[in-house]
Amino acid sequence: MNGWTAWNSQLVQQALDKLEHPRCLEYYADLQRNTGRIEADLRQLPAGPQLDAWDRGLDQIRLDMQREGPDAETITPNCMNPLLAMGDRINTLSNAIFTANLVDVPIPAQTRLRLAQASGIAAAVEMTEANKDRPRTLTVDIATPPAERVVGREVAFSVGGADPVWGASTTIRLDFGDGKPAFSVNAEALRQGRQIVHAYDAPVTAHLTVIATEDPKPGETSGTVLGRGASTILISPSPVSAAQVVADEFINLRFALALVIALTVYYWRYHSRAATFGARGYDYVEAFALGFAADAAVSQLPQAIAAFAP
CA–CA distance, 228 with 97 (Å, rounded to integer)? 21
Looking at the structure, do residues 229 and 296 belong to the same domain, yes or no? Answer: no
Question: How would you class 26 by CB atoms within 10 Å of its CB: exposed for 0-12, middle for 13-18, buried for 19 or more?
Answer: exposed
pLDDT computed for residue 154 by the predictor: 93
CA–CA distance, 198 with 200 (Å, rounded to integer)? 7
Three-state DSSP state, 250: helix
Q: By the 8 A CB rule, do 109 and 57 touch? A: no
The structure's pTM equals 0.48
pLDDT computed for residue 170 by the predictor: 93
Three-state DSSP state, 199: strand
The residue among 221, 237, 253 that closes a domain is 237
Looking at the structure, do residues 188 and 273 belong to the same domain, yes or no? Answer: no
Domain assignment present for residue 220? The answer is: yes
Q: By the 8 A CB rule, do 162 and 136 touch? A: yes
For 155, half-sphere exposure in the C-beta direction (CA atoms, 13 angstrom radius) is 24
Looking at the structure, do residues 98 and 147 belong to the same domain, yes or no? Answer: no
Domain assignment present for residue 107? The answer is: no
- Report, as ranges of residue numbers, the positions in the chain whose pLDDT lies below 50: 308-310
pLDDT computed for residue 308 by the predictor: 47
The residue among 76, 102, 128 that closes a domain is 102
**Taking the CB of residue 94, how many other CB atoms lie within 10 A of it?**
18
Looking at the structure, do residues 150 and 210 belong to the same domain, yes or no? Answer: yes
Three-state DSSP state, 303: helix
Return the amino acid letter for 71: D
Q: By the 8 A CB rule, do 159 and 141 touch? A: yes
Q: By the 8 A CB rule, do 178 and 204 touch? A: yes
The residue among 60, 77, 102 that closes a domain is 102
Q: How far apart are the first and last CA of the chain?
A: 88
Helix/strand number for the chain, H first, E second: 9, 8
pLDDT computed for residue 137 by the predictor: 82
Looking at the structure, do residues 44 and 10 belong to the same domain, yes or no? Answer: yes
Domain assignment present for residue 248? The answer is: yes
- The domain tally of the chain equals 3
Task: Please provide residue 185's backbone torsions phi and psi, each rounded to the nearest 5 degrees.
Answer: -160, 150
pLDDT in tens, 258-268: 666 666 666 66
Domain of 162 in residue numbering reads as: 136-237
